[in-house]
A and B are shown apart, each in its own frame.
Chain A
């Protein structure tokens, strides 16, 4: 690859969902950025805070209700990806837990860490983890409810200040 003239210097990711599949893409992107020498900040807002709350972050689930792409998980069971998985089946008790179990197992094989270890990895690599102040207030959360790797609770304005700089990009997930 040729050397780009305007490299990405910093990536600021906003996590607004709190399911396992809602959180992982941003964690992978943040860690991947740090591995490339790119600065990374992750801002957790609304249900995304589920991944920062100490009591809940180890128990994130794959969302199966209303997920019309669950056929993609079929190969994890040795079944073809084209096999239909009607969305109503996602509401059957135990399906979300089972899908979560399957996905966690596959991710471990690929050396993708669990959420807590992933947050530690990003934090150790110099990436920043922030919680959204408004969402904290809405969900009646205090700083001490969050995992100790969180770098701060920011307002939207403070987040934009954090995101400032040439070659900085913001991504909503």
Chain B
């Protein structure tokens, strides 16, 4: 599927996750965040987003426990920054695939 956000043509899946993380820009992140009811994005959000993109590039599996232990953000902060589904929403905004784990 195609979607235009922040003046950029993006390839997304049916749930709106970017299928090519190289198409992501900070402006795209802002636009997805607005759609998801998150933000405006502040430094706390960006820290999480950058961490997620680094982990994804490394091919690491993302879990809510791993996020809490990363030193980037505490579990509480993560839930406060991305209300209503912290890992799902932050991944979507970071332009990476939806996390598949149960933890």
Contact = CB atoms under 8 A, between A and B. Distances in A.
8 contacts: A1-B15, A28-B102, A37-B83, A111-B103, A112-B103, A124-B75, A125-B76, A126-B79
B75 A35 contact: no
A35 B87 contact: yes
Contacts, number: 46
A37 B85 contact: yes
Nearest to B62: A111
Contact of A124 (B61, B79, B102): B79
Given A36-B88, A121-B64, A121-B75, 17 more contacts: A28-B103, A31-B64, A35-B64, A36-B85, A37-B84, A111-B61, A111-B66, A111-B103, A112-B65, A113-B65, A117-B65, A124-B74, A124-B76, A124-B79, A125-B64, A125-B75, A125-B76
Interface of A: 1, 28, 31-32, 34-37, 110-113, 117, 120-121, 124-126
Contacts of B101: 111
Contact of B86 (A28, A35, A113): A35
A63 to B, nearest CB: 23
Contacts of A34: 79
Contact of A32 (B15, B66, B84, B102): B102
Contact of B103 (A1, A31, A36): A31
A143 B44 CA distance: 36
B63 interface: yes
Contacts of A111: 61, 63, 65-66, 101, 103
Contacts of A117: 65
Contacts of A36: 85, 88
A117 B64 CA distance: 12
Given A36-B88, A37-B84, A113-B65, A125 B102 contact: no
